[in-house]
Amino acid sequence: MAIKQLNPYLNFDGTAAKAIELYQRALGAKVENVQRFGDMPGGSPAAKDRILHAVLKIGAGVVMLSDTMPGMPFSAEGNAHVCLDYDNSVEMAQHFELLASGDKVTMPLQDTFWGAKFGMLTDAFGVRWMFNCEHENENENKNKNENKKS
């Protein structure tokens, strides 16, 4: 059986709805599905507004997320990053600035030895993000746009 798709799954401690709002505003995320604990039969009244499961479309990718149940152990940071691969460094820089919060920029956007502009940050909810735009991809898109104008 082949793997159909690989999706990052983010967990929050009661702030998933706010994270969805941030990702919509900063990254242009499109909400495809949101279910709350209150939608579940026999759900806890204390958790009714928490996100049970949500699916966000960001570019060509999908990110899934949820809140934990109240009182469950939660750690905001782990050993994973969500990597966003762009074909336009200007758009990438705009999204980077919108998602960055205070001193949470691990690596400012900069040109790298592997031929890309790259940066890393941790958002207001403790999710770590990588931003990458290969110069080759950006130049290909510029050429395609110039050819369309002719």
Neighbours of 126 (CB within 10 A): 18
Look at domain 7-72 and name its CATH class: alpha beta
pTM beyond 0.85: the answer is no
pLDDT reading at 145 higher than 70: no
pLDDT digits (tens, 9 = 90+) for 94-126: 999 999 976 689 999 999 999 999 999 999 998
How is residue 150 annotated by DSSP? -
Based on the number of CB atoms within 10 Å of its own CB, is 146 exposed (0-12), middle (13-18) or buried (19 or more)? Answer: exposed
H/E stretch holding 16 reads helix 16-27
Q: Calculate mean pLDDT across residues 48-59.
A: 95
Rounded to the nearest integer, the mean pLDDT of the chain is: 87
pLDDT at 82 over 60: yes
Q: In this model, does residue 51 exceed pLDDT 70? A: yes
Q: Map out the domains of the chain as residue ranges.
A: 7-72, 75-150
CA atoms within 13 A on the CB side of 8: 18
Predicted confidence band at 141 (pLDDT cuts at 50, 70, 90)?
low
CATH code linked to domain 75-150 = 3.10.180.10
Structural contact between residues 126 and 68, judged by C-beta atoms closer than 8 angstroms = no
